[in-house]
A and B are shown apart, each in its own frame.
Chain A
Amino acid sequence: MIDRELLPVATPTRTRRMLGELLRPHRARVVLAVTALAGGAAAGLLVAPLLGRIIDLVVDGGGPEAVTLPAVGLVGVAVVQGLLATLGVAQTAQVGEVVLARLRERLVERALGLPLDRIEAAGAGDLGSRVTEDVAQVGEAVREGVPALARYGLIIVLTFVGLAVLDWRFLLAALAAVPIQALTARWYLRLATPLYAEQRVAGGAQQQQLLDSTVGLPTVRAFRLAGRHTELVRQRSQRVVDLALQVVRLQNGFFGRLNLAEFVGLALVLVVGFLLVRSGTVSIGTASAAALYFIGLFGPLNEVLFLLQTVQAAAAGLARIVGTADLPEPDHPVPVRGAAPARVHVEAVAFGYRDGPDVLTGVDVDIAAGARLAVVGASGAGKTTLAKLVAGVHRPDRGTVRLAPEPPGSSLREAVALVAQEVHVFAGPLADDLRLADPDAGDAQLRAALDRVGALDWVDALPDGVRTVVGAGGTALTVVQAQQLALARLVLADPPVAILDEATAEAGSAGARVLESAAQRALGGRTALVVAHRLNQAADADAVLLLDGGKVVEVGSHAELLAADGPYAALWAAWSGDR
């Protein structure tokens, strides 16, 4: 396997520092939130003493009318508690969500700024999972974990305070349960986080298998693979079931231990109450209030201990997010648009990937301004590498790639656009997809670009024209349509130099013809380098370059090379079947 150079993960210190940085502008709000939540929890603590007061009044034989005042007090507590909880939860969520939004924006900015070879070295999955799963996990913690944790945590702390106020010995009794709870939480966290992670992986694998089998249904049928695929689905599904049973075992153990803690604490509180009442230190009402306080802790304690897991899992995700968001600010390109075509000058270029052998050696190419060069050759001859060097994606190890005239103040990458075989339609309205290439383009420009690549007819036939939602979750486009869209983006990006790397290859032979004529129109008025599979593309180009084993074998016009009767002529004869 290839060694993966994963993207950085932030240290806890660095994560805390960044969180602090992001939280700083919201200090006032944080104080307000904590104050509101604490106030609400404190108000809630008055419930038990008020109930205790009613009991005391009853025991002391105060008439039925005496009960009214504490009852009205209970209503007041409820209102105050409700209003403060609303304020506290809303403010906590506000801070959390705003910080999360800043964090994810910074993550995406830094992620998109990473050089391609860095992303590939890490594996595409690494960045993808940071942008999706990690952000989702932290979001879940922010949405469900943090406000609840803050609220219940404060309730617990203040309940303990309340118990101490009733009598410090009640607090001691209640604290006797804490070691059990602490051990339970530690035990649970140790087992739960890896188990839940495994569960997510298994769920993902099941989903992926189903998608794999479903997308490939025609293939499954053609090759009669239904039995094997049913078995694969069964295996993945069984794994999910097995893990679910492990989870229920774990949660059962968790709740069982907490039940024990509840009983121990409650029994001790009652014993202390008994002793204190017998010695006349506290009233029966106070002892009742203490018991009610403690029963009231069951829910919040369960919630907090359970939520700790969400927070722990989120912390791991947060470290990965911060690791990426913390990268130096990228040097985003400023595309050169609408400049006159430039001459491309490649001189004595050699290049190898990382520590591998040279993929290209001693390559000299000259493309006249506005001319089209077709690059042909077998797989592994170095065609795509040459394309990437001219596009400025990689820098040559030796030799130079220059434009003449050099665009003032711009790098190679900013002057050259590259359209590759890979088709991706960006999810959302089709117009937004196109505007990635030219954010300022008006509708008329979009339509002109679509028209130029022969896509306007089918775009107009879409339900909402250029506003139709396409890509993932929207109207599905064919491979040919998606690649036409890529060419329309190229027209809008309007670079002086354009590179097509097998941009017509995935389409099938009939689609390839449609795309070739679209490409020809899109390339008009630019200097172009086209990596070609179908040799008719070479025949149409101004010049042809034949690569083999990273070296230039032949270069010249199609007619010249046929006349020379060299390797290209042989290739042409084999391709066109003209023997």
Chain B
Amino acid sequence: MTVSTGRSVLTGSIGAFRGRVGLATLCFGGHQIGEVLVPVLVGAVIDTALRTADTSALLGWLAVLGLDFALLSVCYRLGARQAWIADVCADQRLRLLIARRLLAPAGGAEKGRLPGELVSIATSDTKRVGLVNFGLPLGLAALAALLVAAVALLRISVPLGLLILLGTPPVLYLIHLFGRPIERRSEAEQEQAAQAAGTATDLVAGIRVLKGLRAEPAAVRRYARTSADSLAATLRATRSQAWFSGTVLIVNGTFLAVIALVGGRLAAADQISTGQLVAAVGLAQFLVDPLQELGWVNERFAQARASARRIAELLGAPAAVRAGTGRPPARVDGALHVRDLRHGSLAGLDLDVRAGELVGIVAADPADAAALLSCLAREADPEHGSLQLDGVPLADYAPESARAAVLVAAHDAELFADTVRANVGAAAPGDRDLTPALAAARADQVVDALADGFDTVVAEHGRTLSGGQRQRVALARALAADPPVLVLHDPTTAVDSVTEAEIAAGLRTLRHGRTTVVVTSSPALLAVADRVVLVDGGRVTALGRHGRLLADRARYREVVLG
């Protein structure tokens, strides 16, 4: 499906569940009619049974009242069920569309948006659009109820009916006008009030830092200030809300008094019956509900439109890279050729990596490394120049095929909430034995130290592991994927020097004969490379073995040994 505008997102979301929305509308309509009939029937009981002391009339009307309650109850439940399903399923449908777009190989959907914002679009905004599927039947039914109540009122008495029908909307509008500024103000104040919660969470999250600095008293004072500010804001908000609800009571009560006055005079003049007067008062009280419901539905629609716009923008975000269609041959030799690459801080980088070679890249400026890596990972199209794999431009391949051939393992690669085994094996072909990759990355040590070994569940972002453990598991995952070309970025920064030396040796052995590029300034890793390239000022300035470069190049020594 093509999604371009907020409007089409909204109509698409309703249309996908139109059957349920329609059914819910009918049911909610039935419920509303049932509700209208309650005061009407009570009026009938008073008129026909109480005034005449007619037992059979009483029983008859009570039976009708019972049927009415059955109708309104069953209708409400059926309608709520249908509307609710239409609501949550629409919410889910949009969430999955967004997830698919976000996770698409060509990328680009996350550009310019923070993760929290993306999650909020995929949860809060989808929920608001979904809610339309609940609000729409409710609104339509409220309209129908208004019509029925209007007919009933006008049948009782034209002047009284007109008074109620024409008087109610202005009364509600008055309340709305009065409530608007309060609502806006209290929203701002509630936001400020929510800060106390945010600060508390934040301080607890940083408790180790606080303890390290002995800053607990300062933190407690800071929280007390935030809490006091929040309290003041909340109190202002609740006070205005209290005034608002009090005013609503006064306005509604006064309007009811006017109706009673007019209705009473009509009844006294024998223009309507007593029962009709009771019914009219009941109906006037009833009218408030559907009218308020309409106002509520209207607000939800306004919110949903804004949400649908955000969703449409995300779904229609341009791809980050040109999507080629080709696939690399079954056997990739793994020779990399970078020609005159200008991208970000890179100023015409030339680089050749022979098939099966282990090459170290030392970048004096981290920006150079980042630019090269994002091109190799097909996260971005190079501004100028080319990257070729076995003589074919990488951009000719579909992004996911290119990444299958050239795997770039980022320094800050994420671990996901799952077992260590699932994380390490995430990209491993078939039922490959993961042990060699674990051993080479010295992640075997990590696994041994964990309570449930290889099957220990890792929390999101690998939070339950230390930095060094996380890095070794991530490295094992990259090694287990066994790609024809593996590019590693700073894979051992959080690993102690003893282990780092072991990893360097393990990497060398495991990747023997497979092209491997390590972007790092770790001497231990650079020492095992066949060749090392120094990138300085956006281009290659030196090339050779680590030991030679250390001895001959002062700049290299400075960058690597600090």
Contacts and interface: CB of A to CB of B under 8 A. Distances in A.
B103 A229 contact: yes
Interface in A112-152: 112-113, 116, 119, 127-128, 131-132, 135-136, 139, 143
B177 interface: no
Contact of B198 (A287, A420, A473): A473
Nearest to B470: A506
A316 interface: no
Interface in A76-124: 77-79, 81-83, 85-87, 89-90, 93-94, 97-98, 101, 104-105, 107-109, 111-113, 116, 119
Contact of B245 (A72, A85, A220, A472): A85
A22 B205 CA distance: 28
B114 A574 contact: no
A535 B562 CA distance: 10
B497 interface: yes
B253 A575 contact: no
Interface string B92-121: 100110011011110100100011101100
Nearest to B524: A575
Interface string A287-327: 11001100100000000000000000000000000000000
A571 B501 CA distance: 8
B145 to A, nearest CB: 16
A212 B246 CA distance: 46
Interface stretch (A49-57, A158-166, A175-183, A444-452): A49-57
B254 A108 contact: no
Interface in A525-579: 533-536, 571, 574-579
A574 B461 contact: no
Contacts of A510: 363-366, 369, 521
Interface stretch (A61-69, A184-192, A352-360, A459-467): A61-69
Main secondary structure of the interface of A (DSSP, over half): helix
B425 to A, nearest CB: 11
A228 interface: yes
Contacts of B3: none
A266 B268 CA distance: 27
B414 interface: yes
Given A78-B253, A212-B416, A224-B403, A436 B215 contact: yes
A270 interface: yes
Contact of A571 (B201, B206, B268, B497): B497
Contacts of B264: 54-55, 57-58, 64, 67, 70-71
B10 interface: no
B426 A228 contact: yes
Contacts of B466: 379, 421
A207 B118 CA distance: 11
A23 interface: no
Given A244-B88, A274-B58, A533-B495, 13 more contacts: A83-B246, A97-B238, A135-B200, A211-B115, A214-B110, A241-B92, A245-B88, A424-B206, A424-B209, A493-B214, A576-B523, A576-B550, A579-B527
Contact of B249 (A1, A85, A335): A85
Nearest to B96: A234
Given A86-B246, A224-B404, A536-B561, A208 B257 contact: no
Nearest to A280: B53
B96 A230 contact: yes
B548 to A, nearest CB: 11
A221 B399 contact: yes
A545 to B, nearest CB: 14
Contacts of A522: none
B530 interface: no
B523 A577 contact: yes
Interface in A479-508: 479, 486, 489-490, 493, 495, 502, 505-508
A472 B114 CA distance: 11
Given A97-B235, A210-B123, A212-B417, A58 B253 contact: no
A511 interface: yes
A59 to B, nearest CB: 6
Interface stretch (A9-17, A247-255, A364-372, A398-406): A247-255
A486 B92 contact: no
B46 A101 contact: no
B445 to A, nearest CB: 7
A490 B547 contact: no
A379 B215 contact: no
A168 interface: no
A509 B560 CA distance: 9
Contact of A86 (B242, B282, B399): B242
Interface string B253-277: 1101110110111011100001001
15 contacts: A82-B250, A86-B247, A89-B241, A105-B224, A119-B207, A210-B123, A255-B76, A274-B53, A335-B213, A379-B445, A435-B218, A490-B213, A506-B493, A571-B501, A577-B547
B94 to A, nearest CB: 10
A476 interface: yes
B28 to A, nearest CB: 13
A216 B107 CA distance: 12
A343 interface: no
Contact of B84 (A237, A248, A263): A248
A270 B45 contact: yes
Given A221-B403, A256-B77, A274 B521 contact: no
Interface residues of B, number: 169
Given A223-B427, A476-B114, A571-B497, A71 B51 contact: no
A396 interface: no
Return the 4 tightest CB-CB contacts between A and B, nearest first: A78-B253, A577-B527, A86-B246, A216-B414
A86 B467 contact: no
B211 interface: yes
B441 interface: no
Contact of B102 (A68, A70, A77, A213): A213
B493 A267 contact: no
A105 B245 CA distance: 30
Looking at A223, A230, A391, the one whose CB has the most chain B CB atoms below 10 A away is A223
A476 B245 CA distance: 42
A28 interface: no
B123 A207 contact: yes
B238 A93 contact: yes
Interface in A334-379: 334-335, 376-379
A255 to B, nearest CB: 7
B312 interface: no
Looking at A214, A226, A512, the one whose CB has the most chain B CB atoms below 10 A away is A214
A407 interface: no
A248 B231 contact: no
Interface in B478-530: 481, 489-490, 493-501, 504, 520-524, 526-528
A93 B65 contact: no
A237 B493 contact: no
B216 A113 contact: yes
Contacts of B268: 57-58, 61-64, 66-67
A211 B437 CA distance: 28
B413 interface: yes
A439 B218 contact: yes
A111 B220 CA distance: 10
A376 to B, nearest CB: 6
Interface string B68-97: 010011001100110011001101100110
Contacts of A139: 197
Interface string B522-562: 11101110000000000000000011001000000000011
A287 B281 CA distance: 15
Contacts of B501: 571, 574-575
Interface string A9-52: 00000000000000000000000000000000000000100110
Given A226-B104, A421-B467, A571-B501, A259 B204 contact: no
Contact of B208 (A116, A229, A505): A116
Contacts of A244: 84, 88
A305 B134 CA distance: 23
B65 A266 contact: yes
